[in-house]
Chains A and B, each alone.
Chain A
Amino acid sequence: MQQETSTSAGLMNRFEVTKRIVGMLKAEEAVIGGIGNTNFDLWATGQRPQNFYMLGSMGLAFPIALGVALAQPERNVVALEGDGSLLMQVGCLATIAMVAPTNLKMIVFDNGMYQITGGQKAATGFGADLIAMARGAGLAECAWAADENDLEEKFARALATPGPFLIGVPTDGKKAVATTDRDPPRLRESFMRGIGAK
């Protein structure tokens, strides 16, 4: 894939992108949403029973998704994460590259900041390139999306092609459009039923 930095590409909106991604899911794919805005916007796209919303454990959206992917290898698992969160658990990219699950498709929303805690600039706002880091971790299929159409193309290919994928989404500074329910056992129950584990 072509490499492009987040600063040279156009900024996309997290809610709009999440809506498009969820709209492309036709096979009861699991979706794991990371802490804060990421799962708030996932929630706002409609509460699919196959969605899991993480209320703490910052940085664990990709690891949780890896666990789901290993347990249910026949189901595609989509993971949505923020750049600050991925920076916190960036080692997980090396683990994922090593395990190479066929069914894990990851998206990172890079707004260059820790938006939900007040918009403090993250290292990604100073040039840290998460897609380059992922490539360095051994993930072959990783790229920045240039715009919404490019993103749809890349995501469609990820869904149709075995192997772990990471797509970087240069993201604007708009707030999330809703908040999730805050009842962890209920969120977990609903997810487990949604993916046939209960």
Chain B
Amino acid sequence: MLAVEGRGSVADAGWHETLIEVFKGAGISLVTYVPDNVLRPLIDGVHADPYFNVVPTTREEEAVGIASGSIMAGVNAAVLMQTSGLATLANVLASLPSVYQIPVVMVVSERGVLGEFNRGQALVAKTMRPILDSAGVDHCTIRRGDELRFMAERTILQALYTRTPAALILSPLLTGGKTIKK
């Protein structure tokens, strides 16, 4: 047993409310997702807000497809997932939003770091940034509550201006992450 156990102190308890405001500012009104425990307040938040059309999907690939169609038809869209979801996406990111220049916005809750208890998740996490870099997806990692709004707003704005898909990676430093419950 480890002597020290993570308790996941939350850096910014309102991170999900900020993201919802940023989505609205960017006209992102379609949200698709495969669930993640850390993203729960954001998922609950978009479900509860009539501004959003929310579609849970069976795979992250499907979610990116739906978001791509929506954006091409004039409605901006975001896809919510965890690290392991992103790791399933290399082919689809490279062959759809990247080459077709469709600014799909992804919000990825970062698992596999800072107190991860599952070795598989830790290994999957190592694939995430290389996949994003090689598939031509811009990304930033958000760690601090005081930087959240600026980074999220500007990264999404840049994605829309440059017609490039982008990922906001939410560090456990921001969200509190997930640790083994005692």
Contact = CB atoms under 8 A, between A and B. Distances in A.
Nearest to A60: B65
Contact of B30 (A52, A67, A95): A67
B74 to A, nearest CB: 4
A95 B95 contact: no
Contacts of B10: none
Interface in A44-83: 52, 54-60, 62-72
B58 A52 contact: no
A89 to B, nearest CB: 6
A30 B73 contact: yes
B92 A91 contact: no
A95 B99 contact: no
Contact count band on B: 20 to 34
B150 interface: no
Contact count band on A: 35 or more
Secondary structure of the B contact surface, majority rule: helix
A32 interface: yes
A133 to B, nearest CB: 13
A195 interface: yes
A185 interface: yes
Interface string A8-38: 0000000000000000000000101000000
A67 B77 contact: yes
Secondary structure of the A contact surface, majority rule: helix
B75 A70 contact: yes
B75 A71 contact: yes
A32 B64 CA distance: 15
A32 B57 CA distance: 19
A146 interface: no
A50 to B, nearest CB: 11
A197 interface: yes
A184 interface: yes
B36 interface: no
B91 A56 contact: yes
19 contacts: A30-B73, A32-B69, A57-B65, A60-B61, A60-B62, A63-B57, A67-B68, A67-B77, A68-B72, A71-B30, A72-B73, A72-B74, A91-B57, A91-B59, A92-B57, A92-B65, A188-B100, A188-B101, A197-B74
Interface of A: 30, 32, 52, 54-60, 62-72, 89, 91-92, 94-95, 98-99, 184-185, 187-188, 191-192, 195-197
